[in-house]
Chains A and B, each alone.
Chain A
Amino acid sequence: MKLVLNFTPVWAELELILDGIMLTIGLSAAAIVLGSALAVLLVGLKSLAPRWVGLLVDAYVELMRNTPFLIQLFMIFFGLPLLGLKMSGATAGLLAMTMNLGAYATEIIRAGVDATHKSQIEAGLSLALTRLQVFRYVVLNPAFAKVWPALSSQFVLMMLASSICSFISVSELSGAAAIIESRTFRSFETYIVVTLVYLALALALKSSLLLLGKRLFPNASGLERLDVKAGSV
């Protein structure tokens, strides 16, 4: 058997690929921002709200982390319209990604919050700050700095998982690939191109997040040393 690769038909659909890339980037960026915001809200509720609210947060996180993303996507896309909430595939995809990422990020950020030395919180409270102010200004930033690498990986995983949105006919990169494949019958060539694009996107996202982390947490390396000091006395 001889393998013959012919990329010409695939290149002819370049526009479709570019649109797919843009949608993948757009969905991922929006899900990262909204999912992180949701996670901060949930971690805040868990830290500050009454216990029963914390238990609800736990239940939500467990539900999202222990069911397949595809099923979550179907529940939103096919289930919500039955409740009178109609939405486009892209909106449903974004909602599913936000809810899914929000749950995973909640677990990650909570680990950072839990790692905060009790003395930091006492220092904040002693300066007459409210518990919310302590969370917002004292706890949150170092917590993010501590878990930034783990959070970054989760963002990249979510970007890759956005391909699942093609199941509800969202023509992001994977959706675009499916269309090109059916038009050209050049499956291998199509997915070689798409694989390389995903790889490039993932690496680009990873390094952007690394740079962003250095900007957001310029003193992150100092945090660990300070913790060690605080813990040793």
Chain B
Amino acid sequence: MNQQTSTFPAIQTQNLIKTFDKVVANDNVSFDVRRGEILALLGENGSGKTTLMNMLSGIYFPDSGSIEVDGKEVSIRSPKDAFGLGIGMVHQHFKLVDVFTAAENIVLGLPGKLFLDRKASTREIREISERYGFQLDPDKKIYNMSVSEKQTVEIVKVLYRGADILILDEPTAVLTPQETEQLFTTLRNMKADGKAIVIITHKLNEVLSVSDRVHILRKGKSIATVNTPETNQQELTEMMVGRAISLKIHRPLVEVKEDRLQISGLNCLSPEGVQALQNINFTLQSGEILGIAGIAGSGQKELCEALAGLYPVSSGSILYHPEGADTTDIVGKAPKEIRDMGITMAFVPEDRLGMGLVANMDMTDNVMLRHYDKGRGPFADRKRSRGLAEGLIDQLEIVTPGVSTPVRRLSGGNVQKVLLGREIDSAPRVLIVAYPVRGLDINSSYTIYDLLNEQKKRGVAVLFVGEDLDVLLELADRILVLCGGQVSGIVDAANATKEEVGLLMTQVPEEVDIS
């Protein structure tokens, strides 16, 4: 379809308005994307990026305004209509059937003959892969694939259906730097082939490296469209946030440090008998933030849970050196005992509310989960928890109608503040946080970083499991890299490069340097 090198843009929207109840999600959004270019759509959470894309892919229908494809006004009422116009969406959360092969997922739901022609579909998928430089085995099952392979399947799926306008929703959120670079190479190949590509992201460095133009949304409104070569990070941030903010993450230095946790020879088996953690050795010091980097599923979750006493340890020791008290080995101790010693964990799982907070309970009750045994006799002490919850709202500027609102009604950033605030309140000596800024916008993220730095300055040993390498490199003192359940290296964050860490994420060096 790319022969239509018309003068019209591939997609042009004019004054799109979409409201939900009284909330205006999109307010007069006008943007365009041309064939043979990559447009970055930049905006904070809640700025209306997803609403806009959902209108283009047929999930929502705009209240008013127009959408033009190749200069012709269209009405997109279902995902099918969108496909008919050649618009393909690659969602952030993959929509794939785990037990199917890549090829089966790609042909799923397409009309055709009664019997599947696996050979023909495999051949076509290979052709598409070669054309754009994808690495994809059509006969591989999804559950055997890495995250980046799954993403490749999603993209090929859209191309196989003949899309020539691609919309990618935060495609790099789950990729390593190397994988991201590979993705960008294929995107550039598609661009050269005349496809129109929209990439939604809030990572500024990626915007600058891959896009041709940037369209910025703020609070549902179109702010500006700028040519990428003529802008910079600072300018983009100001347009996105609406005011000047410093992008620098502070890394305060703490002079006096002492060893807090000493992990040696730690091995863990998963319930399926797979070695989840293999010979883990490291020391966590007070007054430092130790970052944990790694591809998703490299043992981060298992490591955190092993430290908190939630994951069975098959061998090795975790020595805990509290201030002015005797060293104890916490392996085999009950989670509650470990927590009482001052080792606390705030794990933010993918669904955010799954572990740690009970979605349907209010703030008071969620805070009480940590103090349920502090009351008199069989009665819980509600008053204390309520006071605490109210304190958290003031301290951390949590936006909520009140302490009795169920936490599921709070926005992501506020939920995370409740979770972290509760853990910090217990005055821990070791604080384990996993993905605390997942899905948060810039403002909330910086509040969380400040919180963690404050803890660090108080002499707390912080273990920070993160996804964004840029953040880890700026915030953490040292970075421990996990790869397939092993420590592939520990680097000094101030002197390390992203490439160095990225490489460690994908392979364990021949001689593991444990220091």
Do A and B come together as binding partners? no
The interface of chain A, by Cβ under 8 A from chain B, is: none
